[in-house]
Amino acid sequence: MSNLKRYLVKRWTNWKAKSWFTRISDIFFVLLLIGMLIPASRKEIAAFVNKIMASGPSVLSSDKQFVVPDDAWNWSVQDDDGHWIPLSAHKGKPVLLNFWATWCPPCIAEMPDIQNLYNDYGDRVAFLLITDESPQVVASFMQRKGFNMPIHFHKYAVPPSFSTNSIPTTWLISPEGKVLIHKTGAAKWNGSKMRRILDDLLARKP
């Protein structure tokens, strides 16, 4: 028996001796690597991995929370009908402000959670999903994924309060205008933690 054959037999015997869970994990990992080598599936697989690794958002400590300044309230974004809407139009209600893109795997990973959150809170919470891509590209993506969240577009400088070099980046603004959450990277937005936060905000007396 050649050295290579003996090596392969030994590796196979050792692998068969592993637990079922470990063997399934090994197979899954190999399939994941193969999928990452295929350009057509690479983005979706990366999004899947990001979704698995995502955690629930946490409220900032009191010393890191801040009140949204006037220049940020005056900032306007364009809706999918071409209307320019200032951030101040949403004063008095919770605002989930999210920068994203269709080519971004972590963004894709968290979009279903945001859609589910929008389904239940969209009439009471302002969802501002903001991108600088073309409306045509975004519309195609939303239709393909079955999403109906309102998308907004920015064409001017972003206020320093919401400036970021990473996407997705998300802020939650309270009805009083204070930033409570600042999250970079994919998050589990539809988890019980986030729902409790929104429920507490909505239960406050005006």
- Residue 199: predicted pLDDT: 97
33 or 110: whose pLDDT is higher? Answer: 110
Which residue has 């073309």 as its token pair? 134
* pTM, 2 dp: 0.78
Burial of 138 (0-12, 13-18, 19+ CB in 10 A): buried
What does the mean pLDDT of the chain come to?
84
What is the dotted CATH code of the domain comprising 66-203? 3.40.30.10
- Residue 157: predicted pLDDT: 86
Is 21 strand, coil or helix?
helix
Contact 188, 52 (CB under 8 A): no
**Strands of 169-173's sheet in order across:** 66-67, 178-184, 169-173, 95-99, 126-131, 151-153, 76-78, 84-86
Question: What is the mean pLDDT of the segment spanning 38-62?
Answer: 69
Question: What is the mean pLDDT of the segment spanning 132-154?
Answer: 95
At 52, the pLDDT band (50, 70, 90 cuts) reads: low
Asked if residue 58 has pLDDT above 80, the reply is: yes
Asked if residue 99 has pLDDT above 60, the reply is: yes
Asked if residue 174 has pLDDT above 90, the reply is: yes
- Residue 5: predicted pLDDT: 64
Question: What is the mean pLDDT of the segment spanning 72-100?
Answer: 95
